Structure 1
């Protein structure tokens, strides 16, 4: 038996049981066969998760219910509406904390959170547009800017940064303002909270400030001063503006305008900064998408040349 044959047999004998096969090549060396081991095949870990029932997503559903309830009370009950709307907005910070605490951060939860924020703010601005038709164009512009900037930012992040990248992960080299806005939880919370607080203050002023709402100084609908009240209009909530129900509603909705003015004045600078961030976000997302388009066209031209 040659020395080369003895080496081959020794190598085969030294091979552990259950390991990959070792075969001999034409030059006398040995190599492992491509037989796949059992451990190389990914197996199910046996854990079944329901993303819909993750704690932060359940908080998101509660936010949606509270937002719908606030819209129901919005036309006639400013106090109830403001409380429900504010609690819905405050839960926006709680679902993020729950996602980090339970390690349940998901793309579905991030999109649900953003969609809820955009829809609730848009609904409140729609009401303000109806309360102050003269300023409707401003409120409509704010709705469009809010929707467009967040959609463009989310789409640019998913398409250019990858489907697993969070829209809150911003590179400081791309925009230091967006980096500060999204990476500082304190800045993000203050901007979002005071932005909503500004619009809540405007909503309360529509019920309490004759300066902004001169209609509050007018007599009730269907009533003429110094004369007999004519028949009420068909659109009246109550048959008579002096009925028990109408008077009770007026007492319940009586609001002093001092605190709404304070809320609006204090939160206005932060609201203005938030709108500036929306503009920056829209521009940066557009530039990011254009960079991707130019790179794709460059690769396509190079492929055609080759």
Structure 2
């Protein structure tokens, strides 16, 4: 027996485990956010009524919002709604949190995707040049530039870009978002600086990881044979060394995309983009518990789903990973 019938069962088991992991992560994250919001000073009623609020008006609004109920009761009600796909309603507007997320999420995804394109577009060629010119002045210059970018926060890079490209040169608008339906250039002009600011840290991480993996790959026998045939270092790195070196990079990409969704909070606020990050800042300031919990859950779910997709892509990048080790029963049968 070859145990071929067991392969779908193993795959199904892995999918179920990933789904259970997703549910567990969302439950833990949601619980931490739920309890964390309770520890913040003040509350939604005080934030909504302002400084002129009286104790009676605060108590009345808390009763209207259901915040005067015991903590465990409110938590059980929130979990019950979450299991039914209900993220609740915003305290401020009364709008469904799911609708708010559906409106704001596309802008954040556009920003994250644009940032990843910029980061990878810069990191791949610079990593190959550094690996091919290891130890030279070019390699040291690229490494110094990469470390400088890595040590600079997003908001500093964003402020510098606004000062240079908007204030001094007037090439791009400082803030604002234009939908793609209003034209390609108006859309791109509003996304270039936010994408570059968000791509700074991922670019530096990708370049460092890929450079290290390419250097290790270049020492393999098949790369030595390619260079012995007269293939240039850059061409051999692109044709033969890049794909085997992408496993480490793909892992970092999966983690970085998830963190980039969180990092978009600063970038969206700085450039005035109507994404999830800017909405989360407003919700925290207003103590809008359902909005904060819903947005954080979406970010956490995105992080887990993206990393699951990256795990599935490992076998596409390196076909050798498709080989499954036989179980003890299969080994004995064979």
Normalization by structure 1: what TM-score? 0.28
- Structure number with higher relative contact order (C-alpha < 8 Å, ≥ 6 residues apart): 2
- Larger fraction in helix: 2
Q: Normalised by the size of structure 2, how large is the TM-score?
A: 0.27
